[in-house]
């Protein structure tokens, strides 16, 4: 009886393990894609932040950007 139970258990076990492997592979793929996009978005965020800071500094010094009016919304 024990050998028969082991034989019957191996089929669902193999299917479950295969499903888990596929799930982990998809999760790793999504993580890699998100990680690659993160560096791109951080570059945009920090570039724009630096741009706004430079405009602010030029405005404080009275350069050509001093005529630009900044309104709070």
The span from the CA of 12 to the CA of 7, in Å, is 10
The pLDDT of residue 47 is: 58
Residue pLDDT, tens place only, 21-67: 777 888 888 888 777 777 666 655 555 666 666 677 777 666 554 45
The span from the CA of 71 to the CA of 73, in Å, is 6
pTM: 0.31
Three-state DSSP state, 29: helix
The span from the CA of 54 to the CA of 68, in Å, is 13
The pLDDT of residue 66 is: 47
């Amino acid at each position: 009886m024990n050998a028969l139970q082991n034989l019957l258990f191996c089929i669902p076990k193999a299917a479950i393990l295969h499903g888990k492997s596929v799930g982990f592979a998809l999760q790793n793929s999504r993580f890699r894609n998100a990680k690659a996009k993160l560096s791109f978005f951080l570059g945009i965020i920090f570039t724009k932040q630096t741009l706004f800071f430079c405009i602010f500094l030029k405005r404080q010094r009275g350069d050509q950007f001093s005529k630009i009016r900044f309104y709070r919304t």
